[in-house]
Structure 1
Amino acid sequence: MAFFAGLGENKGQIEENIDLVFDKVHTNVGDAYDKQTRRVTIPFSGLYHFTVVIAAQGGQKAAAMLMNNGTMVETIWAESIPLWATSSNTAILNLTSGDQVWLVLLKRAPYIHGYMYSSFSGYSLFDTENEENEAPQDDDKINGKSLVRKNCKKFAFKSKVRYTKRTLIFFLLCKTKRRFIQMMQ
């Protein structure tokens, strides 16, 4: 799962907090980003990476909250005084199949700049539902040689296309994999 969407037009004054609609969808692998509701529905349980970029119109404030099933995860705030400002934030979330993630525009700071200066993107890091994707343990050895070093490359390329970002992270975590897996349990 991977998606990238941007805001086509500027937003202005609003009466209440509203779901933020990113109308320019450039990437939507796996169709997790719903083009009608503008919410991401998680297709499989796993670890996910989300990035939000908010640009405020000149001399204004813009803010959005990243939501997970109705609970605020983080707030992204940009205040363009005197000219322009952009703010971004990243979240790595352990989600379950069917969970929803979306953005809410805040009424106290609604002047978000469109024209692709503001965007919402995300992708799956790895699937926790599928056991075949478990990494080899440091203590798994054949003839006294660690399978982790030997199989890092083999394991990463064995993964399916939806794990492209996961393979990069797996390479980066090969040496510290055991601590990472313990932290995720």
Structure 2
Amino acid sequence: MFRRILMLAFFSYSHCFLEDPLSIQQRFTALEARVKQLEAYTAKCPCVDAVGFNVQLTHNISPMGRYQHIIFDNELTNIGNGYDKLSGQFTAPYHGLYTFAVSFTKGGDHNLSVQIVKNGATISQGLTYTEDVYDTATVTATVELTKGDRVWVENGYPVDDVEDIHGQWTFFSGHLVMSMPN
């Protein structure tokens, strides 16, 4: 066995001296070209810091006003500081693809409509429409944002005369999936 290993080592070592210098130079030139391609690609898509948040509503809101902003006041996670708990809005720190989710619970025996909004335009909406006292629904959205775009949650079009949202069971979260070049 030891003899076999020595023979393989000798063959590998002697093979290095038998390779054509032109072939080595061509492979080296090809590797240099590939490194330059990768550097150019990296410059277009710079690495960015992680961005993600998870916030909670800690109190009930009753009655909800039409298109009332829901300000989630308990910051559980806010990596990148994109969520502002005073305004209830997320501001995109980078251009990229983002995913958002809101899970909400209606309070009392009233129905509830909630929507995720980007710069004033609805990008997703959901509804609890049952006769149960408490009912929970989830709304998600995946959307391209440019730096500075704002996303928030608000009461949607009223489906009941009075709409209530139950705190402690209502959350809003979002994160950067992938940064994109400008």
CA distance in 1, matches of 2:133, 2:69: 26
- The residue type equivalent to 1:82 in the other structure is D
Counterpart for residue 49 of structure 1: 99
Counterpart for residue 71 of structure 1: 121
Normalising to structure 1: TM-score of the pair? 0.65
Greater relative contact order, per chain length (Cα 8 Å cut-off, separation 6+): 2
Identity of aligned pairs, percent? Answer: 29
1:25, distance to aligned residue in structure 2 (A): 1.0
Normalising to structure 2: TM-score of the pair? 0.66
1:30, distance to aligned residue in structure 2 (A): 0.4
1:125 aligns with 2:181: no
Is the CA contact 2:102–2:140 (under 8 Å) kept in the aligned structure 1?
yes
Counterpart for residue 112 of structure 2: 62
| Cα pair distance change 1:107/1:14, threshold 3 Å | farther
- The residue type equivalent to 1:2 in the other structure is G
CA distance in 2, matches of 1:88, 1:78: 9
Is the CA contact 1:57–1:111 (under 8 Å) kept in the aligned structure 2?
yes
Unaligned runs of 5+ in 1: 131-185
**In angstroms, what is the RMSD of aligned CA positions?**
1.7
- The residue type equivalent to 2:173 in the other structure is S
CA distance in 2, matches of 1:48, 1:25: 19
CA distance in 2, matches of 1:27, 1:15: 28
1:82, distance to aligned residue in structure 2 (A): 2.6
CA distance in 2, matches of 1:67, 1:127: 20
- Report the number of matched residues: 129
1:111 aligns with 2:164: yes
Counterpart for residue 154 of structure 1: none
Q: Provide runs of 4+ in structure 1 moved above 6 Å.
A: none
1:80, distance to aligned residue in structure 2 (A): 4.2
In our comparison, the structure showing a higher alpha carbon Rg is 2
Is the CA contact 1:59–1:79 (under 8 Å) kept in the aligned structure 2?
no
1:106, distance to aligned residue in structure 2 (A): 3.5
